Amino acid sequence: MCLCNCLCNSCFCNWTSSHTGVGPKSQNQPHFKRFRDIIIDLGHQNRVIDLMKIDCERCEYAQYKQWLEDWKETNVLVRQVMLEIHNSDYPDVVDIFNVFQKAGYVLFHKEANFIQKGNMVEVAWILLDPDFQVSLLKNEYQRNS
């Protein structure tokens, strides 16, 4: 059973995934709730999620690889991911882009968020058939040869 407000198979779940109040206070680093746990708490296992918007106030650097593992583990297919990346730390931010691309996601949107002096970037990926990226790279290679 879904714990969100669902209507006609559409759900909007406003859920906080990271804050220092989750987990033992004795830890030196903030403790984050995993997507696996959130998915199970909301009853969203074995589902297709059309759009996942993530704004977790810098948790992205600690968790992005785990998100993909958690989605696979709970049999959740996320078709689009929108992420607010904070401070765009190099080289960590490049790794975020590479990991999502290797998982089959294609970047289709990127813009600076100037609310915080341009220190944030809004990005969005869409999950496409793996053959899309293979043929795209093959065509690019042929043009440059």
Domain assignment present for 93 = yes
Identify whether 21 is part of a domain.
Answer: no
Phi/psi zone of residue 83: left (φ > 0), alpha (ψ -120 to 50 degrees), beta? beta
Tell me if residue 134 falls in helix, strand or coil: helix
Contact 68, 103 (CB under 8 A): yes
Residues 34-48 have a mean pLDDT of 90
Average confidence (pLDDT) over 32-36: 79
| Token representation of residue 132 | 């899309």
60: nearest Cα among 107, 120, 128 = 120
Task: Please state, in angstroms and rounded to a whole number, the distance separating the CA atoms of residues 70 and 73.
Answer: 5
Residue 11 resides in a domain? no
Considering the domain boundaries, does residue 23 fall inside one? no
The verdict on residue 5 lying in a domain is no
| Residue 70: closest CA among 99, 38, 36 | 36
- Which range, of 12-16, 18-22, 60-64, averages the lowest pLDDT? 18-22
Q: Quote the pLDDT of residue 33.
A: 75
In a domain, 12, yes or no: no
* Interatomic CA distance for residues 91 and 89, integer angstroms: 6
Judge whether 111 lies within some domain.
yes
Let me know how many helices (H) and strands (E) the chain has, helices first: 4, 8
Which pLDDT belongs to residue 96? Answer: 93
Q: Which residue has the higher pLDDT, 86 or 140?
A: 86
Strand 120-127 relative to strand 80-86: parallel, antiparallel, unpaired? antiparallel
Q: What is the mean pLDDT of the chain?
A: 79
Q: What is the pLDDT of residues 68-122, one digit of tens each?
A: 999 999 999 999 999 998 877 677 888 999 999 999 999 999 988 877 676 788 9
Q: Can you give the residue range of the structural domain that contains 76?
A: 31-144
Check whether 59 has a pLDDT greater than 90: no
Query: Please, are residues 135 and 85 in contact by the beta-carbon 8 Å criterion?
Result: no
Count how many domains the chain has.
1
20 assigned to some structural domain: no
